[in-house]
A and B are shown apart, each in its own frame.
Chain A
Amino acid sequence: MSGMAISRAEIPVRRVGPWGDRLFRLLLAGAAILVLALLGGAALAIFWGALPAFRHFGPAFLTGSAWDPVRQEFGALVPIYGTLVTSAVAMATAVPISFGIALFLTEVAPAWLRAPIGAAIELLAGIPSIIYGMWGLFVFAPFMADHVEPALTALLGPLPVLGVLFDGPPLGIGMLTAGLILSIMVVPFISSVMRDVFLLVPLTLREAAVGLGATRWELVWRVVLPHTKSAVMGGIFLGLGRALGETMAVTFVLGNAHEFSPSLLMPSTSIAAAIANEFTEADSDLYRSSLIALGFLLFAITFVVLALAKLLLARLTAGETRR
């Protein structure tokens, strides 16, 4: 991979005793396998708990929009939709902003400004999610309801297809607000990864590009980004993983309603919020199992998203080497 050319076989092995080495190797392997075992065990346990719900509802559990604890009818469509839409809104706003922050800090900002802004962004990551939730409910949601959402409805509501997304009363509580809160929460993760890898671009590459007459934009677009592509994608998916599973902040501003509505302005629920809200009082076995089944779906969604990310990354690197 890198410039170091010593392969493992060439590392001199000192024979202190056969047992010491073997034990050490076993310990290391055990530590690594433990992670796999924990993951497998967790997946299996969740699946086991979810089995009664999957058996009772079959594939209809994925497409059903009913959530009726009285009649014991449960379907996961609304929480799945809410989870995906809020995360999509979060990524759509967080990625460009993080990119801008990272670019500013590495390429544009004067040196004395970099440390304080960088520290401030990292501090954002340290704020507990419940604080984001409360701030979202008491400060951000009223602001959205009074200023942003009426304007959005007036501006985008009459559009033919897009209009459906911005229809409805301006409650200030709903998928759009939840997505924006999530984006504030994931910006520190994505931007700090981006900044760190942008700084790792070798100075010789930068100097060469500038020497060839590249503008700052060309430097970023043609040299910095291609060089750091895979790490940038990694940072984005780290943020996405956090957005998909975020519970507390979402619960506060999403509205927790199990009614299907395509509009971004309407309340909905997410998988994590539904579990956090309802698990304590889920008094029948089927109810509890349905909530665990939601957890299993979140597990599956995260797994699929990460797998897709790896696939995309492999494609990108393959295209890079071909060139």
Chain B
Amino acid sequence: MRSAIAALALALMSGLAPGFAAAEEITGAGSTFVYPLLAKWSDDYNRQSGVKINYQSIGSGGGIAQIKAGTVTFGASDMPLTPADLHEAGLIQFPAVIGAVVPAVNLPGIAPGALRLTGPALADIYLGRVKTWNDPEIVSLNPGLTLPALAITVVHRSDGSGTTFNWVDYLAKVSPEWKARIGEGTSVSWPSGVGGKGNEGVAAYIQRIKGAIGYLEYAYILQNKMTYALVQNAAGQYPAPGKASFQAAAASAEWSKTSDFDLVLTNAPGDNAYPITATSFILIHRAAGATGAVKSALDFFRWAFAHGGDDAEALAYVPLPASLTAAIEAYWQANLP
């Protein structure tokens, strides 16, 4: 019996031993949007450097709360904090990866990418004002398509989410009524529709309900081979969702004019920019300086920006453009001496 306890204690200690060395383990928490990519990155990085990254995808709101409380080395959020908020909490912030939110529909006989919608039309659908697919507002945008007289069922997220934040931020930018009546946030008071839990819940509802429209992270559109709709961007074009249009949005955004990268990529101005492009942000404590676990975390993201591009693309994210990673490096030098 005693030897069994001793063996157990030994096993526990050897298992925990790397955890005691502070610099060897980085903890993070937050956004579920970046979780698949962070998991892949940390796996690869661990194999190369031996440094372990322990990331918990508890949601952006939870990530912000945890980094403010100082229980993790870095937090991840799909919604940028304002410079005032960052200053008050003693945090710095930088983008980590780019993705996009894409509307998907369940319309029998309509091919992926065939349906065209504008931002105001999407807002009217989500406000519950456009109720059927053969509404003149949708028909006039799609002269070549025969749209059925099917009722539109709006699908949204039931849980608070960074995906929702980017979606409603876009709707608020293109529809004054949405901005006034609904506003924006990680969860809002939806005027109509059903709520699915998580991207998979929304995807399941869209596939179940004929005439449904919902919004999903791009990866879920690819995995489930769903029928997506094109959205008109600020330049009047209908870019297909994909690496090129997401990167065009990231490149056309004027990061240099912001402080602390406080910028939401939706409704970006570029000709080929995808209109609902999203960014995940990393939050780190300023006071800690570039020492210990913070230094390890910066090394990890430095490695990810340099070598993690293939991982990102394999998972349907888009790596940051080189100009942006250079700006982030300069930001680190300035804020974490």
A interface residues (Cβ-Cβ under 8 A, vs B): 66-71, 73, 137-138, 141-142, 145, 169, 171-173, 251-252, 255-259, 267, 269, 273, 277-278, 280-283
A/B interface sample: 27 pairs, CB < 8 A: A68-B188, A69-B186, A69-B187, A69-B188, A70-B183, A70-B185, A70-B188, A71-B189, A73-B189, A138-B208, A145-B208, A145-B209, A171-B153, A172-B209, A173-B209, A252-B201, A256-B158, A256-B194, A256-B195, A258-B189, A258-B190, A267-B194, A280-B159, A281-B59, A281-B159, A281-B160, A282-B160
A-facing residues in B179-214 (Cβ within 8 Å): 182-197, 201, 204-205, 208-209
**Nearest 4 CB-CB pairings of A with B:** A281-B160, A256-B158, A256-B195, A68-B189
Interface pair A67/B189, CB less than 8 Å apart: yes
Max chain A Cβ within 10 angstroms of own Cβ: one of B58, B60, B195, B201: B195
Minimum CB–CB distance for B276 against chain A, Å: 19
User: What is the bound-complex CA distance between A137 and B197, given in angstroms?
Assistant: 12
Give the contacting residue for A169; candidates B153, B161, B189, B196; CB below 8 A.
B153
With A172-B208, A277-B159, A283-B64 already in contact, the answer to whether A255 and B189 are too (CB < 8 A) is no
Interface pair A137/B208, CB less than 8 Å apart: yes
Q: Does B83 count as interface, using CB distance less than 8 angstroms?
A: no
Of all chain B residues, the one with the shortest Cβ separation from A255 is: B194
Q: Does B308 count as interface, using CB distance less than 8 angstroms?
A: no
Residues of A within 8 A of B182 (CB): 70
A-facing residues in B290-308 (Cβ within 8 Å): none
**Majority-rule SS of B interface residues:** loop
Minimum CB–CB distance for B278 against chain A, Å: 16
Minimum CB–CB distance for B244 against chain A, Å: 32
Interface size on B, residues (CB 8 A): 34
Residues of B within 8 A of A142 (CB): 208
Residues of A within 8 A of B159 (CB): 277-278, 280-281
User: What is the bound-complex CA distance between A183 and B228, given in angstroms?
Assistant: 37
Minimum CB–CB distance for A256 against chain B, Å: 3
Interface pair B194/A173, CB less than 8 Å apart: yes
Residues of A within 8 A of B204 (CB): 137-138
**Majority-rule SS of A interface residues:** loop
Minimum CB–CB distance for B23 against chain A, Å: 30
With A277-B197, A280-B61, A281-B59 already in contact, the answer to whether A69 and B208 are too (CB < 8 A) is no
User: What is the bound-complex CA distance between A258 and B158, given in angstroms?
Assistant: 9
Residues of A within 8 A of B160 (CB): 69, 278, 280-283
Q: Does B288 count as interface, using CB distance less than 8 angstroms?
A: no
Residues of A within 8 A of B189 (CB): 66-71, 73, 258
Give the contacting residue for A283; candidates B61, B190, B209; CB below 8 A.
B61
Residues of A within 8 A of B192 (CB): 259
Of all chain A residues, the one with the shortest Cβ separation from B207 is: A138
Interface pair B158/A281, CB less than 8 Å apart: no
Q: Does B11 count as interface, using CB distance less than 8 angstroms?
A: no
Minimum CB–CB distance for A152 against chain B, Å: 17
Of all chain B residues, the one with the shortest Cβ separation from A174 is: B194
Given A71-B183, A258-B190, A278-B160, 17 more pairs with CB closer than 8 A? A68-B188, A69-B160, A70-B183, A70-B184, A137-B208, A138-B208, A171-B153, A173-B194, A251-B197, A252-B201, A259-B191, A269-B195, A273-B158, A277-B159, A280-B59, A281-B59, A283-B160
